[in-house]
């Protein structure tokens, strides 16, 4: 599970979070924080262990962090518990992991099983990561686009506008058309 924590740590640091680790009776817990978000990553060997242990562990971790959460109320509204299991879960377990995510009592939750690669980790943490790809826009022929969208105006006015005529000339053409 240390590999799981390490992958989570790398992804979170790459996304600009400050990351630290604390010890819990069930093992290390990864803490992460940004200007507006804070959270805890709890790692499990498999989905069964995650499903059996997520509630008591999360209660214990949140109890330990209670004073910090009270000090920073704005982040308390944007607190996450992230539950990750290395081994793949079966269909029923994955449904139950989805139910954990829908439980918004106390914190937001992410619960995923089958985190065996950096790509799977990135997918699991995606709600916490910034948008990473800029949109790809095709080049636009602006004069053609303007002609296409201004069918209500006289063609002469559009052509004069596209040649960069002064506003006064455009105003005269508009007045003459009315």
Residues 6-27 have pLDDT tens digits of 999 999 999 999 999 888 777 7
Give 82: exposed, middle or buried? Use CB within 10 Å, 0-12, 13-18, 19+: buried
The distance of Cα 108 from the centroid of its chain, to the nearest Å, equals: 13
Element holding 32 (H helix, E strand): strand 27-33
The distance between the two most distant Cα atoms of the chain, rounded to a whole number of Å, is: 84
Q: pLDDT exceeding 90 applies to what percent of the chain?
A: 43
**Pick the residue with more confidence: 137 or 31?**
31
54-113 pLDDT, tens per residue?
A: 999 888 888 887 776 666 666 667 889 999 999 999 999 999 999 999 988 888 999 999
Examine the pLDDT at 130 and tell me if it is beyond 80. Answer: no
């Amino acid at each position: 599970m240390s590999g799981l924590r390490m992958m989570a740590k790398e992804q979170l640091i790459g996304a600009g979070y400050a990351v630290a680790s604390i010890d819990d009776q069930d093992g290390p817990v990864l803490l992460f924080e940004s200007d507006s978000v804070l959270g805890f990553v709890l790692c499990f060997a498999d989905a069964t262990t995650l499903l059996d242990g997520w509630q008591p562990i999360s209660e214990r971790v949140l109890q330990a962090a209670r004073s910090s959460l009270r000090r920073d109320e704005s982040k308390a509204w944007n607190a996450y518990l992230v539950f990750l299991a290395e081994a793949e879960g079966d269909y029923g377990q994955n449904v139950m992991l989805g139910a954990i995510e829908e439980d918004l009592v106390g914190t937001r939750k992410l619960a995923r099983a089958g985190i065996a690669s950096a790509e799977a980790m990135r997918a699991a943490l995606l709600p916490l990561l910034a948008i990473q790809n800029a949109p790809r826009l095709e080049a636009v022929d602006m004069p053609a686009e303007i002609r296409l969208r201004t069918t209500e105006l006289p063609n002469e006015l559009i052509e004069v506008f596209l040649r960069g005529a002064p506003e006064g000339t455009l105003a005269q053409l508009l007045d003459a058309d009315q």
